[in-house]
Amino acid sequence: MKRVKKRVGRVSNYIRSKVESGEALHFTLIDPDKVVSTEWLRKTASTVADSGTDAFLVGGSIGVSESDVEATVKVLKEFKLPVILFPGNVTGISKHADAILFMSLLNSDDPYFIVGAQVLGAPIVVKYGLEALPTAYIIVGYGGAAGYIGKARPIPYDRPEVGAAYVMTAELLGMKYAYLEAGSGAPEPVPPKFIETTVKYRNNITIIVGGGIRRPDQARQLTQAGADIVVTGTLIEKNPMKVADIISAIKRK
Ligand code: 1GP
Question: Would you place residue 4 in the very low, low, confident or very high pLDDT band (cuts 50, 70, 90)?
Answer: low
Index of the ligand 1 atom closest to the CA of residue 237: 7
Question: Is residue 3 a part of any domain in this protein?
Answer: no
Question: Is residue 5 a part of any domain in this protein?
Answer: no
Instruction: Name the region of 22 (left: φ>0; alpha: ψ -120 to 50; beta: rest).
Output: left
Question: Would you place residue 252 in the very low, low, confident or very high pLDDT band (cuts 50, 70, 90)?
Answer: confident
How many Å apart are CA 136 and CA 98, to the nearest integer? 19
What per-residue confidence (pLDDT) applies to 122?
Answer: 98
* CATH code where residue 66 lies: 3.20.20.390
Question: Is residue 225 a part of any domain in this protein?
Answer: yes
Distance of CA 53 to the CA centre of its chain: 13
Contact 228, 210 (CB under 8 A): no
Question: Could you give phi then psi for residue 174, rounded to 5 degrees?
Answer: 95, 10
Question: Is residue 219 a part of any domain in this protein?
Answer: yes
- Which pLDDT tens digit goes with each residue over 116-173? 999 999 999 999 999 999 999 999 999 999 999 999 999 999 999 999 999 999 999 9
- Which pLDDT tens digit goes with each residue over 63-122? 899 999 999 999 999 999 999 999 999 999 999 999 999 999 999 999 999 999 999 999
The tally of domains found in the chain comes to 1
Question: Is residue 2 a part of any domain in this protein?
Answer: no
Index of the ligand 1 atom closest to the CA of residue 234: 7
For 85, residues 6+ apart whose C-beta sits below 8 A from its C-beta are: 57, 58, 59, 69, 73, 92, 93, 94, 97, 99, 100, 101, 130
- Which pLDDT tens digit goes with each residue over 179-225? 999 999 999 999 999 999 999 999 999 999 999 999 999 999 999 99
Question: For residue 88, how far is its CA from the centre of ligand 1 (angstroms)?
Answer: 13
| Residue span of the structural domain in which 171 resides | 10-251
Question: For residue 230, how far is its CA from the centre of ligand 1 (angstroms)?
Answer: 10
Question: Is residue 133 a part of any domain in this protein?
Answer: yes
